[in-house]
Amino acid sequence: MLKGRRKVTKKLKNKFIFDVDGTLTPSRQPIDKRFAVWFRDFCNSNEVYLVTGSDRPKTIEQIGETIYNKCQRVYNCNGNDVWEKDVNVRTNDWVLPEDAHEWLSIQLTESDFKIRTGLHFEHRPGMVNFSVVGRNANNEQRADYFKYDTLTNERNIIAKNFNFLFPNIKATVGGETGIDISPVGTDKAQIIKDFGPQDKTYFFGDRMDEDGNDYPLAQVVSASRSVMNWSQTKEYLEYFKELGIAL
């Protein structure tokens, strides 16, 4: 007589994915020192991944090399430049086409926001970050543009018009002043291919609205949480720990 076999159920692996600007740090600013200590401990006990539009040097500048190296993997430039500690896993060498660059230059000229600080096109591996105020803006200038953009919806309008005119390229609003631009299929959602069906993926980001650069990834992970700042991220993680999710 054949004996029945016990059904084996594989335990899902909890994997935590974080945006950086507005999620772990203030936009383009260093991580809070007390939160950095807390988050380092979290990284010691959990599988942590970062996905950010920023490049590797800027990310390390914001969160520190210790946290960067404690992560299982860091997806810089929306997953177009991938690192495990100091080892480059892969890099996308895409370059923004000239006609798209010219169209964005016209939007820069025609914007009613008057402050220009330079570095309006920041070319990163596999993507470009476009900013009307410019990446050289100080905190006050960034805040002024963010208020202007909130009132006028300028970035969303530019992104939607761009996507209509250049259907093979995707523009999404990211952070407080920029627009992330990369080929269709190379937004943050591309990182999900590195995770398997046995993985329970939790994603935290601050731009999960339909026009935001966290939106594509939020649609394909197991669960997502939209946050307003690092403090809210910490509150969610502490709550998860109480539920026994963060172990």
121 domain-assigned: yes
**Same-domain check for residues 31 and 72:** yes
CA-based nearest residue to 130, from 172, 76, 80: 172
Q: At what angle do helices 154-165 and 98-110 cross, to 10 degrees?
A: 150
Q: 190-219 pLDDT, tens per residue? A: 999 999 988 999 999 998 988 788 999 999
Distance CA 244, CA 98 (A): 51
Q: Above 90 in pLDDT, residue 68?
A: yes
- What would the two tokens of residue 181 be? 């631009």
Distance CA 179, CA 159 (A): 7
Q: 82-108 pLDDT, tens per residue? A: 999 999 999 999 999 999 999 999 999
**Phi, psi at 148, each rounded to 5°:** -60, -45
Q: What is the pLDDT of residue 240?
A: 83
8 domain-assigned: no
Q: What is the pLDDT of residue 10?
A: 53
**Same-domain check for residues 131 and 192:** no
Q: What is the pLDDT of residue 12?
A: 66
User: Whole-structure pTM over 0.75, yes or no?
Assistant: yes
Q: 140-196 pLDDT, tens per residue? A: 999 999 999 999 999 999 999 999 999 999 998 987 899 999 999 899 999 999 999
Number of domains in the chain: 2
Q: What is the pLDDT of residue 243?
A: 79
Q: What is the pLDDT of residue 27?
A: 84
Q: 167-176 pLDDT, tens per residue? A: 999 998 987 8
Count other C-beta atoms under 10 Å from residue 35's C-beta: 16
- Are 21 and 28 in contact, with CB atoms under 8 Å apart? yes
Q: What is the pLDDT of residue 88?
A: 97
DSSP letter string over 83-132? EETTEEEEE------HHHHHHHHHHHHH-S-----S--EEEETTEEEEES
Q: At what angle do helices 33-45 and 230-243 cross, to 10 degrees?
A: 30
Q: Whole domain around residue 28: which residue ranges?
A: 13-91+186-243
- Are 145 and 113 in contact, with CB atoms under 8 Å apart? yes
**Same-domain check for residues 176 and 105:** yes
